[in-house]
Amino acid sequence: MTTSTKPAIRPANPNFSSGPCSKRPNWSPELLRDALVGRSHRSKPGKERLLRAIEQTRSVLKVPADYKIAIVPASDTGAVEMAMWSLLGERGVDMLAWESFGEGWVTDVVKQLGLDARILKAPYGELPDLGEVDFSRDVVFTWNGTTSGVRVPDGDWIAADRTGLTIADATSAAFAQRLDWQKLDVATFSWQKALGGEAAHGMLILSPRAVERLESYTPAWPLPKIFRLTKGGKLIDGVFKGETINTPSMLCVEDYLDALDWAESVGGLDGLVARADANTAAIAAWVAATPWIDFLAADAAIRSNTSVCLAFTDPDISAMPVADQSAFSKRVAGLLDREGVAYDIAHYRDAPPGLRIWCGATIETSDVEALTPWIDWAFAAAKAEIAKAA
């Protein structure tokens, strides 16, 4: 339905940003009153909380017991960079890119590290041919493309008998999608994504194969201190027990622990996935009934259930130059922002024009359902402005 009348019901929570993402339901700063502020992260209670964050992450995400988990600096970007600079170069690498963050990892590997890289690309809304990946080489990919709304459907395409390592940027997949740990040697994510934690901290998860690479291979380039995971050819094991490389924010740690407790209260990983799926289903039902909008990803099997990307298919809009389509999309998003019903849902700056709505587990389905009539209204209002200006 397209209407010029403002809907009567508003989302209780208008925060649909794809990062930093919405806090969990009923969150309040008061929940952090017992944070270990003013204390050293190296103190006994500091180490205990950091180790709890690691082990509770393992529990919720169902990470195998023999995988190592570390809290690292600089969010997901820092975790991915740490993995690439520390592990790559022992053999050739296949780089998969179908959106802006995957393209960023390609730039680092090709231009900064200068490695023997094969680039497998696909346009926004699609995946590269996963059957072309060579698993005798290392492989770097995003599990879920945050800026394209496209995810790999599962881990079946990854060879079980691979000789290279798989490195997955899983920041908008973890806690909303099931990661196939037996097919992943490295996985990274940040607190501010699917659990709505605070920014600046990343998580690095390593398989035994990745640890073996770290201990047997020395990169040809120098490593900054914050990237160093080994000393004297051996893993610095304390990093994976809460002895962080640099100083973490204990306030942010407390917030992450609260988010993990909430995740367990809604059923752990199964509950989180179900919540994200329900939110995306609400968007899908609206899209099916709305002729002027569609998913950027045409194939439902590869659509994200977190960073849902939509494109305007109305002929009057799709016939515009891309710059004008972008301006229209931002106008729709701006109207929703002004009304206080949806913040930060315009397309990512490098992505095709449209909307990007976060549907991760911290979002309530009732808020998604309340949002869609408002998008109807904003679309009608934006089109009316175009007609008036013509």
Give domain status of residue 107, yes or no.
Answer: yes
Nearest to 363 by CA among 287, 307, 311: 307
Residue 49 lies in a domain: yes
Over residues 318-328, the pLDDT tens digits come to 999 999 999 99
Residues 45 and 103 in one domain: yes
232 lies in the same domain as 148: yes
* Residues 286 and 196 grouped into a single domain: no
Number of residues that make up the chain:
390
Asked if residue 21 is part of any domain, the answer here is no
Per cent of the chain over pLDDT 70 is 99
Encoding tokens for residue 103? 């393209």
- Supply the mean pLDDT for the chain: 97
Question: Do 321 and 340 belong to one domain?
Answer: yes
End-of-domain residue from the set 240, 264, 288: 264
Residue 297 resides in a domain: yes
Judge if 192 and 338 occupy the same domain. no
Residue 163's CATH number: 3.40.640.10
The answer to whether position 14 is within a domain reads no
pLDDT of residue 225: 93
Domain boundary among 264, 281, 313: 264
Co-location of 304 and 241 in the same domain: no
Task: Please give the tally of structural domains in the chain.
Answer: 2
How many Cα neighbours within 13 Å face the side chain of 253?
Answer: 27
Asked if 105 and 175 sit in the same domain, the reply is: yes
| Domain identity same for 69 and 166 | yes
Domain boundary among 264, 294, 316: 264
Helix then strand then coil, in percent of the chain rounded to 5, is 40, 15, 45
What pLDDT, in 10s, does the model give residues 355-366?
999 999 999 999
Residue 294 and residue 206 share a domain: no
Q: Does the structure show a pLDDT above 90 at 3?
A: no
Closest CA to 362 of 199, 204, 196: 196
| Nearest residue to 170 (alpha-carbon basis) of 25, 278, 63, 311 | 63
| pLDDT tens, residue by residue, 302-315 | 999 999 999 999 99
- Asked whether residue 66 falls in the same domain as residue 49, the answer is yes
Which amino acid appears at position 89 of this protein? G
Averaged over 198-225, what is the pLDDT? 97
210 confidence band (pLDDT: 50, 70, 90):
very high
Residues 235, 92, single domain; the answer is yes
Residue 7 inside a domain? The answer is no
Q: In this structure, are 230 and 281 located in the same domain?
A: no
Q: Read off the pLDDT of residues 77-117 as tens digits, 9 standing for 90 and up.
A: 999 999 999 999 999 999 999 999 999 999 999 999 999 99
b/e string for 257-284 if b means 16 or more Cβ within 10 A? bbbbebbeebebbeebbebbbbbbebbb
Please say if the pLDDT value at position 1 is more than 70: no
* Strand bridging mode 144-145 / 117-121: unpaired
* Residue 2: band (very low, low, confident or very high) from pLDDT cuts 50, 70, 90: low
Q: Which CATH number covers residue 282?
A: 3.90.1150.10
Select from 307, 302, 331, 304 the least CA-distant residue to 317. 331
Q: Is residue 148 assigned to a domain?
A: yes
The reply to whether 22 falls in a domain is: no
Structural domain boundaries, residue 376: 268-389
* pLDDT (tens digit per residue) in 243-273: 999 999 999 999 999 999 999 999 999 999 9
Mean predicted confidence (pLDDT) in 131-141: 98
Question: Is the model's pLDDT at 390 over the cut of 90?
Answer: no
Phi/psi for 237 (5° steps) reads -65, -30
* pLDDT tens-digit series, residues 212-234: 999 999 999 999 999 999 999 99
Cα dihedral 298/301/306/308 (nearest 10): 10
The sheet with strand 307-312 has its strands ordered as 293-295, 307-312, 355-358
